[in-house]
Amino acid sequence: MFLQSIYSALVHSLVLLFVGAVCAQSPNTDLTIKVSHNSKAYIGKPMTWDGKEMLLLRRDGRVSTLPVRSRKDFSKIKDGFKPYSKDELRVRLQKEFGSKYQVSITENFVVVHPHGSYNVWAMPFQKLYAQFHAYFFKRGFKLTDPEFPMVAVVLKSRKDFDRFLRKYHDYDSRVLGYYSPNSNRIITYDQTGGSKSKSSDWLFNAHTIIHEATHQTAFNTGIHSRYAPVPRWISEGLAMMFEAPGVNNSLYHAQLSDRINRDRLIVLKSYYAADQVRNKLADLVVSDQIFRTDPELAYALSWGLTFYLSEKMPSQYQAFLKADGERTDFQGFDSKRRAAAFFKSFGGDLQALNARMKRYFEALSVPRRK
């Protein structure tokens, strides 16, 4: 689950313009600058500037929105922009989180986690990354390599997690973890209470890792753009679909029942049985508002739509994902454009699509819990 206001603050900076010789009229300006603000120096690559605020892509992958009123407020350091290496980032994260935590490196991740749990907390992120690649490779996608080492933070307890999140005004005490395209970090916590056993709590933890690592990998390999407003049903639907072992590890889980997100199917079937879906599909396609008004239905229907399209209309779904990932950075994506993009791939008769989905899910059996 995103901290949505953080995401919105980034992607809604849609009218920012590049000005001046230093910013060179292009969102892909390849140079490093320093911005001073509140006695602190921010180093990074300018992405947008409207003469009032600048979006600065920093060397650790975070994006900062800074007040920049004139060219006097920043200075060029050098041509080119180079992200921190994994070793450099490990040193910085160790300093940030202190001696209570260990910082481990995998091929694509730098993971902050409790001591002595490298195999439990670092390797699952890398494993999911490999499985994500395998899934999309089979479907003809050419994923891009991440520009930055991906950061995952596993805090020691729910108390630490709550304390960490309180600085965000839209903090939801029900969340188990989140990924923010703004910080490009996953934040979660050890839900086992330090237990080494693979208990039911560990399974919840694993689902959190899979969900958030799917978000992070999708936003760092070109499936989604970190710098364009991605419809929430697309990103959440994909992450929930990947929670199922038949999607994230199809080599060992090849049955249809393995690809079903059991909990989301139960919720979706209950909404269909109560005849409470109807026009909600149209709401989901054109707006994210339903995530605020009826989040339970929004998540279940996002999974359902994604699962149905991937199972019954796979070529159209793959083309749709590719087109969405290629949208121009910082470009607006209002309701009309969202609808047009969806209709181009799947047709404009949402009532007929919803009727087909209803029949499909009503006939689908809920898998036994394993």
Can you give the C-alpha Rg of the chain in angstroms? 21
Tokens linked to 46: 């300018």
Tokens linked to 151: 């950061």
Tokens linked to 93: 């994260």
Q: Which helix (H) or strand (E) holds 357?
A: helix 350-363
Residue whose entry in the numeric block shows the structure tokens 């899934």: 135
Q: Which helix (H) or strand (E) holds 105?
A: strand 101-105
Check residue 121 and give its pLDDT.
86
How are strands ordered across the β-sheet holding 150-155? 101-105, 109-114, 150-155, 185-189, 177-180
232-363 CATH choice from 3.30.1360, 1.10.1060, 1.10.390, 3.90.105? 1.10.390
CA–CA gap between residue 40 and residue 38 (Å, rounded): 5
How are strands ordered across the β-sheet holding 40-49? 63-67, 53-58, 40-49, 31-37, 74-79
Residue whose entry in the numeric block shows the structure tokens 């036994």: 368
Question: Cα 161 to chain center, whole Å?
Answer: 19
Residue whose entry in the numeric block shows the structure tokens 């889980």: 253
CATH H superfamily, domain 86-220 = Collagenase ColT, N-terminal domain (3.40.30.160)
Closest C-alpha to 234, from 250, 215, 248: 215
Residue whose entry in the numeric block shows the structure tokens 């979006």: 55
pTM attached to this predicted model: 0.88
Domain 4-79 has CATH 3.40.50: no
Q: Which residues of 111-138 are buried (b: 16+ CB within 10 A; e: fewer)?
A: bbbbeebeebbbebbbbbbebbeebbee
Where are the chain's structural domains? 4-79, 86-220, 232-363
Taking the chain (370 residues) in runs of 10, the rounded mean pLDDT of each run is: 39 32 46 92 92 93 93 92 97 96 97 88 92 94 95 93 79 82 92 66 76 96 92 97 92 89 96 91 96 96 98 96 88 91 95 96 89
Sequential DSSP letters for 116-181 = T-HHHHTHHHHHHHHHHHHHHHTTT--PPPPSSPEEEEEESSHHHHHHHHTTSTT--TT-SEEEET
Q: Cβ of 20: how many Cβ atoms within 10 Å?
A: 13
Give me the amino acid identity at 112.
V
Residue whose entry in the numeric block shows the structure tokens 């199917």: 265
Give CB contacts under 8 A, 24+ apart, made by 103-112. 105/149, 108/146, 108/149, 108/150, 109/149, 109/150, 109/151, 109/152, 110/86, 110/149, 110/150, 110/151, 110/152, 111/151, 111/152, 111/153, 111/154, 112/151, 112/152, 112/153, 112/154
CA dihedral sign, ordered 235, 219, 339, 15: positive
CA–CA gap between residue 364 and residue 261 (Å, rounded): 12
Pairing state of beta strands 185-189 and 177-180? antiparallel
Check residue 253 and give its pLDDT.
87
Closest C-alpha to 19, from 51, 44, 57, 43: 51
Tokens linked to 324: 């969405």
